[in-house]
Amino acid sequence: MSIQSTIENKLSKAFAPERVSVINESHLHAGHHHSGSDHHDAFDGTGETHFRVRIVAEAFSGMSRIDRHRAVNELLAPELEAGVHALAIEPAAPGEKTRW
């Protein structure tokens, strides 16, 4: 299973969202250097290392923006530890304005 599918499944199970979109943005980061790499080559933009998570879920009602981000980051900690370098999170509760 792809990392993207794993993230989508975990978010769906944990938050029962009205809407969820996991976008692989790895290609947008080609040429960037990643700290912690064993080599100094620029990232080539392939693979599943950079994602944007857009999620609307009742679970976020009454939560601060920071708590929402923390909840998603904690859920996806194994993926972050296993090679996901960046996770852009756009969480919202139902009825809140989104940019998507």
| Residue 28, phi then psi, degrees to nearest 5 | -75, -15
At 37, is the pLDDT very low, low, confident or very high (cuts 50, 70, 90)? very low
Q: Which fold has domain 3-32+43-92?
A: GMP Synthetase; Chain A, domain 3 (3.30.300)
- Using CA atoms, how far apart are residues 9 and 64, in angstroms rounded to an integer? 24
Q: What is the mean pLDDT of the chain?
A: 88
pTM: 0.82
- Using CA atoms, how far apart are residues 2 and 53, in angstroms rounded to an integer? 15
Domains in the chain: boundaries: 3-32+43-92
Q: Give me the mean pLDDT over the 30-37 stretch.
A: 55
- Using CA atoms, how far apart are residues 42 and 62, in angstroms rounded to an integer? 41
At 19, is the pLDDT very low, low, confident or very high (cuts 50, 70, 90)? very high
